[in-house]
Structure 1
Amino acid sequence: MRHIKYLLAVFIFAAILQTETAEAYPDFIGYSYSSCITCHYNGLGGGALNDYGRALFAGEITSRAVFPKKMEDEEISMMSGFLGTKQLPWWVRPGLKYRGLWLKTSPGSKATIEKFYNMQNDINMNFFLDKKQTYALITTIGYTGQEAYYGKTNTWFMREYYLRWKQSNNLWIYVGQMDKAFGIRNVDHSAVNRKVITLGQFDQSQGAIAHFTYPDWDIALNAFFGNAAQEDNEKQKGYSIAGEYQVFEKFKIGGSFLMSESDLEKWKLAAFTTRMGLSKGSAIMAEIGLKERTPQIGVTDPELGTYALVQTLVNLERGYNLLSVIEHSKRTITESSDESMKWAIGALMFPLPRTELRVMGVNNKTYQASGGAEDQWSLQGQVHVSY
């Protein structure tokens, strides 16, 4: 009962935040685009944008301050191709993505550290066997720098590669290496619902996904058996299921479950998700979950913990937004353990075509079983360029 009461308290806390009057659009559901398949080659979100997604980003999301007032949004959208307005052959769609992070910890103190990280360096190459894109090969080649890719640094690697078959408008099949089907695929790979629960930037897994999608609901079934770059004893093998239901326009609720194990550890994950669009371009999302990790070596009890993420994005004007993210994580709820709380607030901006800028202030709190710890502060700046 104590565990249930704790999870219920986290749920109520997130629900209260969700009913605030602030406006946000973490997943563009505020623009009435409730399905990721509208803009992405992967129907569960993430990865390269399709032609429509590129046009939407340029003609509806990005600031138009650099364009003449007389230019129509449709004209701007037509310039969003890889080579601008020049049409590419129907059978290929390339793309480039770069994301860099400037980080300054403990600003104003003698212990401050300032660094710049090249977080994402990707080349997308997508091929189609027919003009309707019924059959497609989706690939992403990445370059890793300081953050290791399963023990490898400063090297090129195949991040994802999978075959996509549009069996019908309601069923899509994916086979290859790709992100697992679970929860909300927010862009921050270090968030509590990503890296720490085996769903991070480099945690793609080989397997197959069947994605059933309808106007009011969708569900994805995923069987997987590890990343090709991992050692055999590290590969997590298992299955997951994720789905959403549209309660009414621009309001969806969902759930996810994942079970997997390797020779080193076993994982069980369960999550409740919600996405709500408010005014145009404004929305809010939340993910609340249980995470159970069981080491496979030695005699160790499972660690059953909780996590929660609530993200809002207030649209100030086209291309400029206020971003706020609250995260909570507890390692285990079966005994006394540390808790972490994180609040980040700042600006998310799309001032130019193909460009995203972020400026954030971040506060981290750690509540230890034996007492508290000093707050940790940091400043972050990001630049994201995509072609």
Structure 2
Amino acid sequence: MRQSLVVLFLFGLLVSPRAEAYTWMIRHGYSSCAACHADPSGAGLVTAYGRAQSELLLAANYGKVKEEVSPSTGFLFGAVNTPDWLLLGLSFRGGALVNQAGSADPTVRPVQMASDIRAQATFGQFRANASLGFALRRARLAALTTTEANNVVSRDHWLGWDNENQTLLVRAGRINLPFGLRNVEHTSWVRERTRTDTNEHQQYGLAVAYNGEGFRGELMGIAGNFLLKPDEYRERGYSGYFEWSPKTNLALGVSSLATRAAYDVDSRQPDFWRQAHGVFGRWAVGGPVVLLGEVDLLVNSSRDQSAGLGYTGLLQADIEPVRGLHVILAGEALRTVGGVGTNVGGSLGLAFSFLPQVELRVDGVMRRFATETGGTNTLSILSQLHLLL
């Protein structure tokens, strides 16, 4: 096990992944994501303002106070100047993963979760946004090619229109589903079981997002994932959320999602209805602590099975004792629809933004999966380096 951890750490230093949205930015009074991200609900391509905040607010300053943004926050660390109408970003996510299930020997494997180039062109009130990347494995639901591995992927691509004061954005294309916390932990059950992570579960459709003073929301009509074939497996329906910020350090929201597919892509059940409805919140408690939480009710039904209920929840504490260093504690629960019991998990993570747009992170996750005879335990340790160029 000791050798596995050494390999994990070294590989994590050498392989770099993609930066994401940080829902704990409410610590700095940012309840909205639209100022820092091209996607108004967060994640993905970062604006010039967002790049600046990575230096002024996020990265370790080693005791020095910066009042001006250095050119290195620009594209390719400032090596290339882009015009005001063009946003560009190179993003990577990868590292190494140690897994141990029950009494079996631990396994160590490299992971490459995303290697993407992202771009947005803005002309007046119109936007064109797209990403193109490469995936060694998985991400099949975002793949433009159809091989078993080594696929070209496009996680999102859309056309949009803003109103004059940029509080309203109407988009059409392949879009991240608006639902719950847009958190970086894509394998958390609240993202995995609602199928709302930003790795591969984007859908095609029409979305309307609003970001106003004290509240924001987005509603999307889902037309299906056109990269998934045949058409019988594509989901149609809606997804949306509304979030209210009564204070600059507090945001409370509700989410709702409902889709239907002729056949479910995971279970292959016919005439499959999938629903998720929940609440979420973000609270900068004070000092270095931010609490993030989400609870979702899961509802599934099909032609062969009547409606069944499940639930999932996440409570996370982000503690920043010194600037740039984060201690991340989380607990989660999951009762699958038709499951025999409640699965529980806990995690401890350390994240260090030692340079602007560069973050080293190590997470340990322990989960217990309920079975008819008791339960099984799994332990995962993930090391990764987040880098945005």
Q: TM-score range by the shorter chain?
A: 0.7 to 0.9
For 1:68-217, list aligned pairs within 5 A.
72-76=66-70, 78-85=71-78, 87-106=81-100, 111-130=105-124, 134-150=125-141, 152=147, 153-169=149-165, 170-200=167-197, 201-217=199-215
CA contact (8 A) 2:52 2:69 kept: no
2:276 alignment counterpart:
269
- Give the CA deviation at 1:247: 2.2
Contact 1:303 1:331 in 2 (8 A): no
Q: CA deviation at 1:72?
A: 2.8
Shift of 1:302: 2.3
The answer to whether the 8 A contact 2:243-2:254 is kept is yes
- Distance in 1, Cα, partners of 2:123 & 2:164: 16
CA–CA distance in structure 2, aligned partners of residues 240 and 106 of structure 1: 35
Q: Tell me if 1:30 matches 2:23.
A: no
How many residue pairs match? The answer is 351
Cα 1:147/1:303, change in 2 over 3 Å: same
Q: Which stretches in structure 1 are left out of the alignment for 5+ residues?
A: 1-24
**Matched residue of 2:117: which SS?**
strand
CA distance in 2, matches of 1:163, 1:341: 40
1:192/1:329 contact within 8 Å kept: yes
Q: 1:61 to 1:121 in 2, by over 3 A?
A: same
Three-state SS of the structure 2 residue aligned to 1:35 is coil
Q: Which amino acid aligns with 2:48?
A: D
Question: Per-residue displacement from partner, 1:205-228 (whole Å, max 9, x unpaired)?
Answer: 111111122111122221011122
Q: Is the 8 A contact 1:328 1:342 kept in 2?
A: yes
Note the aligned Cα RMSD (angstroms): 2.1
C-alpha distance in 2 between matches for 1:355 and 1:212: 30
Contact 2:102 2:377 in 1 (8 A): no
Q: TM-score, normalised by structure 2?
A: 0.85
Q: Does 1:294 align with 2:301?
A: yes
| Deviation of the 1:196 alpha carbon | 2.2
- Aligned AA (1:182): F
Report the equivalent of 1:7. Answer: none
* 3-state SS of 2:49 partner: helix
Cα separation, partners in 2 of 1:375 and 1:279, compared to 1, 3 Å: same
Cα distance change of structure 1 residues 71 and 341 upon mapping to structure 2, 3 Å threshold: closer
1:309 matched to which residue of 2?
A: 314
- The answer for unaligned runs of 5 or more in structure 2 is 1-21, 264-271
Question: Match for 2:294: what amino acid?
Answer: E
Which amino acid letter does the alignment assign opposite residue 311 of structure 1? Q
- The residue matched to 2:113 in structure 1 has which SS? strand
SS at match of 1:283: strand
Q: Distance in 2 between matches of 1:108 and 1:227?
A: 36
Q: Does 1:355 align with 2:352?
A: no
CA distance in 2, matches of 1:119, 1:310: 24
Aligned residues of 1:26 and 1:312 also touching (Cα < 8 A) = no
1:40 matched to 2:47? The reply is no
2: CA distance, partners of 1:35 / 1:75: 22
Normalised by the length of structure 1, the TM-score is: 0.85
